[in-house]
Chains A and B, each alone.
Chain A
Amino acid sequence: MSRRISSALLMAAVLPVAAQQAAPPAEAASAPAPLDTRIQQVKAEVLRLNRDLLVLEEELLFPSSTQLAVFVSVDVGLLFELESVQVQLDGQTVAQHLYTPQERKALQRGGVQRLFLGNLKTGPHELVAFFTGQGPHDRDYRRAARLTVDKGREPRYVELQIKDLQKKLQPDFEVKVW
């Protein structure tokens, strides 16, 4: 008798992984629970509200005529392990960030972090970004990238790019204005 229980139990353990993750059987799913449907509907409204509020917030706090956004991206990222970034605008520190392993991984997979969103008057401004981290051979590394941003009446997007220079086996830091 014990063995029959055992077999039933053990077979339950060997269902394909995804099969176990699949939702309820078709009969149950064809008539979805009203509660589940209502939950989906209200969550959809939450998402729409969140979007409308984010859009309004951006239009209100960062109008396009003064908006400046600074992004950080990593291309490959084998020669430099990013630890922190600090951004200065006209000598004032406006953003700094310490990276978690999860964030570093997300950058290496192609994600682009929006590090700073702010307002800037029209005209030229000096932007300096300081990168710290581990360079080749686990050496501490601190580098800066500088750019004069000519702010017009359109939003300005600046991307701080960390690239691997395979020829020199050194990381390279570039600034791209979109």
Chain B
Amino acid sequence: MKTACAIAAICLAGAAAAQEVRAPHYGDVLFQHFQSRWFGALGSLMTSQQFQRLGEHDAEAELLRGGLLLDWGQHDEAAQVFEQLAARHPTHRDRAWVGLARARWQRGLVDQAEAALAQVQAPLAGERDDERLLLQAQLHLARGRAAQAAAVLQPVADVKTARGATPLARHNQGLALLRAGDLAAARPVLLKLGSEATGSEEQRALRDRANLALALAEREQQPAAARAALQRVRLHGSVANKALLADGWAAMDLNQPQAALVAWTELAGRSAADPAVLEARLALPQAYVALGARGQALAQVERLLHSLDDDARALAAARQALHDGSALAPLLQVLHGYEPGQDARIALPGGEHAAALAPVWADHGFQQALTRWADLQWSAAELQRWAAALPAFDDMLALRRSGFEQRLPPTLRAARDDAQGLAARQRARDALAQRLQQAEAADDGAALATAAQLQQLQRLARMQQDLAALDAGDERDALADRVRRLQGLLAWQLVEQRAQRLRDASKALRALDGSLQQAQAALAALQQAQADEPPRLDALAERLAALAPRLSTTLPQVLALADEQRVDLQGLAVALLDRHQQHLAATLLQARLLHAQLQDGSVSAQAVQGDRDAQP
């Protein structure tokens, strides 16, 4: 699942890099998606779709929604999304068909997936096409057309500069060639992937798998080359046990029982939950026999018989604990804090039956069922969180309503007040405009005088009056002359500044008009709000009231399904344990046979060698 998600992420990442985000809310969805926060991304995306704020990313967002739904296990809904997109959006139809094919493939519907992929008319742009080719190859493989699968992957695998999907394409191409029986063609592909220095854990895992696959293919003809490939597999990677087992057999093929002993001894010390470990424990005595250490071989088989008895007892106890429910419950506790998309594989916690349950836990089907259960738990927790928040919404709504009812009427009264409200301001503005018009018409500089100039004009007028009261004479003439000159100076200044002041006054009047218009618009908005807000608040209250019963209906459904899923999980675990028990029983039988053979001397170094040579 992790790799499938990675493929989708590769394609979407390519899309994001190539395309500018032209709506911030779409970018927000991508931000969460790139962190694999599926639920958060879906919530943001669907909310923004509701508010219609994704702009030109609408169709792109719908494609992303389909992908996210697929990631979250909503295959049916995802398929619907892609089907609708393919029908409605010609520009996105090819990508929608690829998405639909992926949804159907993940449901195991190979025919329908092939039909969907056949609808794609042209290669997709850039790295988006890689997803299509990878999927196409998987479908070919599912149909047994291995050579075609390998050919389809060629454009992704054989590139000079590796793209995001290249390692996976090389891996799958190599394996497809092996399936097609073309070891010569598979060898360079797997060798290249298996020798590359890689950065991410995912790529390292692919490298390990490529080396293991190459080694298994080479072992028959070139065990030395097989061992060389196996040496490149990490000792604690996901396929380490299988690689150690294969290394032992390859060493035996090369008649190097000591080397086989090293590999198998390392493997035999690991958890018996892995069938490879059981096989290594069973194979170890053969390596001892090949070395002529029959006593040690016998001791090893006896240890194995004891450990198999212990394992069988532990398994039976774990099975019983699964039945009475005591085994699963503590293991499920580990999922506390789980978030969809954040845990690619849920790790097995320790505990009384942890070792016995390890093979169950490692099973792909069990992990999927476990994820379904965890998703339901997560959903229930989300609904509970919302249920706790709803009363606060009620309070907030009541607060808004009371605030609106208390503050709007006085605000409107003040704005409508004839003496001090907007009308009075408008009248004052009109009076000012009239005065300005008069000043302009009268060519009167004094009308535009500043406060200081008006004071000066008044003082000069008073001086003129005072001069009239003085006796005639030189002194009065001198003073009169000074007053006349000052009047002239002031008149000159007023005339000189008049044009600029007219412009300033007109500008200020226009600004006043703007402010008054804003105030009028605000008043109109308030009047509109007076009409709109109560029904809007009523509508919100209605929606809130409708959501509460939906929550209280859905939450018990989710919890009931989670319980059902847990029971299903328990049944699955028991079935897997039974399978493991059968495997243990078969191993026990083989161990007893080997023990008997060692005791009666029918197994010898020559016999082991002969048996190896007889292998095809």
Is A2 part of the binding interface, using a Cβ–Cβ cutoff of 8 Å? yes
- Whether A40 pairs with B74 at a CB distance below 8 angstroms is yes
A20 interfacial contact with B, CB 8 Å: yes
Assess the B175–A16 pair: CB atoms within 8 A.
yes
Given the complex, which residues of B lie within 8 Å of A32, measured CB to CB? 107
Q: How far is the CB of B407 from chain A (nearest CB, A)?
A: 13
* B20 (CB) vs chain A CBs: closest residue: A110
Say whether A43 contacts B47, CB under 8 Å.
no
Query: Using an 8 Å CB-CB cutoff, how does the interface string of B70-102 with A read, 1 for contact, 0 for none?
Result: 001111110000000000000000000000000
Closest to A25 in B: B108
Chain A positions 90-106 with a Cβ under 8 Å from a chain B Cβ:
102-103, 105-106
A126 on the B face (CB < 8 A): no
**Distance (Å) between the CB of A27 and the closest chain B CB?**
8
Which residue of A is nearest B22, CB measured?
A178
**B residues near A56, Cβ cutoff 8 Å:** 393, 540, 543-544, 547
- Does B364 sit within 8 A of A, measured CB to CB? yes
Q: Which of A55-72 contact B (CB under 8 A)?
A: 55-61, 69, 71
A55 contacts B397, C-beta separation under 8 Å: no
Using known A-B contacts A14-B175, A49-B383, A57-B393, determine if residue A29 contacts B108 with beta carbons closer than 8 Å.
yes
CB distance from A167 to the nearest CB of B (A): 21
B21 touches A23 (CB 8 A): no
Name the B residues within 8 Å of A61 (CB-CB): 396
**Does any Cβ of B come within 8 Å of A44's Cβ?**
yes
Main secondary structure, interface of B, reads: helix
Give the residue name and chain of the A residue nearest to B47 (CB).
A54
Q: How many A-B residue pairs have CB under 8 A?
A: 239
Closest A residue by C-beta to B27: A112
Is B414 interfacial (CB 8 A cutoff)? no
Chain B 353-389, CB-CB to A under 8 Å as 1, else 0, gives 0000000000011001000100110010011001001
Q: Complex formed: what's the CA distance from A102 to B31 in Å?
A: 10
Partner of A17, one of B171, B249, B282, B368: B171
Residue A169 lies at the interface, judged by CB distance under 8 Å to chain B? no
B300 interfacial by beta-carbon distance below 8 Å:
no
Q: How far is the CA of A42 from the CA of B560 in the complex (A)?
A: 11
Cα(A168)–Cα(B551), bound, Å: 55
Given contacts A21-B3, A103-B35, A46 and B382 within 8 Å (CB-CB): yes
**Interface set, chain B 105-122, CB cutoff 8 A to A:** 105-111
Pick from B134-142, B430-438, B494-502 the stretch touching chain A. Answer: B134-142
CB of B222 closer than 8 Å to a CB of A: no
A50 within 8 A of B: yes
Q: Tell me whether A10 and B283 are in contact in the complex, defined as CB-CB below 8 angstroms, given that A39-B565, A112-B31 are known contacts.
A: no
Question: Which interface residue of A53, A106, A107 has the most chain B CB atoms within 10 A?
Answer: A53
Q: Are A26 and B111 in contact (CB under 8 A)?
A: yes
Q: Are A13 and B242 interface neighbours, CB within 8 A?
A: yes
Structural contact, A46 and B558, CB atoms closer than 8 A: yes
Contact A23 B107 (CB under 8 A): yes
Q: Is A139 in contact with chain B by the CB < 8 A criterion?
A: no
Question: Given A6-B249, A25-B108, A56-B544, are A111 and B31 neighbors across the interface (CB < 8 Å)?
Answer: yes
A109 adjacent to B16 (CB under 8 Å): yes
Given contacts A105-B34, A109-B17, A112-B31, contact A16 B74 (CB under 8 A): no
What residues on B are CB-neighbors of A40 within 8 Å?
Answer: 73-77
Given contacts A56-B544, A60-B396, A113-B31, 6 further A-B contacts (CB under 8 A): A3-B249, A6-B246, A9-B276, A29-B109, A54-B46, A111-B31
Seen from chain A, the residues whose Cβ lies within 8 Å of a Cβ on chain B are 1-3, 5-6, 9-11, 13-26, 28-30, 32, 35-40, 42-61, 69, 71, 73, 102-103, 105-107, 109-114, 153, 157, 159, 178
A-B residue pairs in contact (CB < 8 Å), sample of 11: A5-B275, A6-B246, A13-B209, A16-B176, A21-B364, A35-B561, A45-B557, A48-B46, A109-B16, A111-B32, A113-B31
